[in-house]
């Protein structure tokens, strides 16, 4: 592994993320294989730990790697995903009309995902969701942290569907939101309502109530749609 060319320190985490993915391919890693420690990867690519961790976080979001706290970073279940965001489109934020279309598409896709996921939701999933909801209660005024917990819950559902294509499509769609658009959503999303939706989601999952889970999901996306329509 000594023949790796260090990346320029001014490179963006996106560049490092691509290099890590190439590293996985070049070294013939497989799903579930443990990657070198973050400090070692940072040294290999010639960047600092903060940049390396941000790159890993980006890869974790799209399922390329899986971070197991206290254990390390592993090649993710969705490493060989087929669908990736358009690299040109992401440079320019989407207009409101296109974002509204994306949300309508997500509602249809997520409904199908829930249908496939419900039979596969087990005690381990429910325990993790319970843990995330309890964690959310610790910082009611920090919506960004709450949103990250909600995102993990949603990704858990998508993975439980065991359909990599649907998972990749949803991730590709969500990556089209710009930072400014996400800030608007974070600023105007009703905190208590969002918490209530996810708490009720957990209850519906425990009883296997597919209809209720879908209705809760649709309610949340309609709130997001209204925010985009009003503030963007």
For 72, phi and psi rounded to 5 degrees? 140, -170
The token pair at 65 is 């790697």
Q: What pLDDT does 92 receive?
A: 58
In whole angstroms, give the CA distance from residue 8 to residue 19. Answer: 12
In whole angstroms, give the CA distance from residue 125 to residue 120. Answer: 9
Q: What pLDDT does 118 receive?
A: 95
For 144, phi and psi rounded to 5 degrees? -60, -45
Q: What is the mean pLDDT of each run of 10 residues along the chain (232 residues)?
A: 50 83 91 94 93 89 84 86 52 75 90 94 94 90 84 89 86 72 81 94 95 95 92 84
Q: What pLDDT does 78 receive?
A: 72
The token pair at 23 is 């590293």
Does the predicted TM-score (pTM) go above 0.75? Answer: no
Q: What pLDDT does 4 receive?
A: 59
Domains of the chain: 13-75 (1.10.10.10), 89-231 (1.20.120.530)
């Amino acid at each position: 592994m000594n023949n790796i060319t260090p990346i320029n320190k001014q490179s963006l985490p996106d560049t490092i993320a691509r290099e890590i993915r190439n590293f996985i391919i070049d070294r013939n890693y497989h799903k579930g294989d443990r990657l070198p420690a973050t400090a070692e990867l940072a040294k290999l690519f010639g960047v600092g730990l903060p940049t390396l961790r941000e790159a890993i976080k980006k890869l974790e979001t799209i399922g390329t790697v899986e971070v197991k706290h206290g254990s390390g970073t592993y090649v993710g279940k969705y490493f060989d995903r087929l669908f990736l965001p358009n690299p040109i489109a992401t440079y320019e934020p989407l207009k409101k009309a296109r974002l509204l279309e994306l949300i309508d598409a997500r509602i249809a896709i997520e409904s199908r995902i829930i249908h496939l996921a419900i039979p596969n939701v087990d005690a381990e999933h429910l325990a993790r969701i319970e843990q995330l909801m309890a964690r959310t209660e610790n910082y009611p005024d920090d919506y960004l942290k709450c949103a990250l917990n909600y995102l993990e819950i949603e990704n858990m559902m998508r993975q439980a569907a065991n359909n990599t294509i649907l998972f990749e499509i949803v991730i590709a769609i969500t990556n089209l939101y710009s930072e400014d658009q996400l800030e608007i959503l974070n600023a105007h999303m009703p905190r208590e309502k969002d918490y209530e939706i996810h708490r009720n989601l957990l209850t519906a999952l425990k009883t296997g109530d597919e209809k209720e889970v879908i209705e809760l999901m649709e309610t949340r996306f309609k709130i997001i749609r209204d925010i985009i329509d009003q503030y963007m």
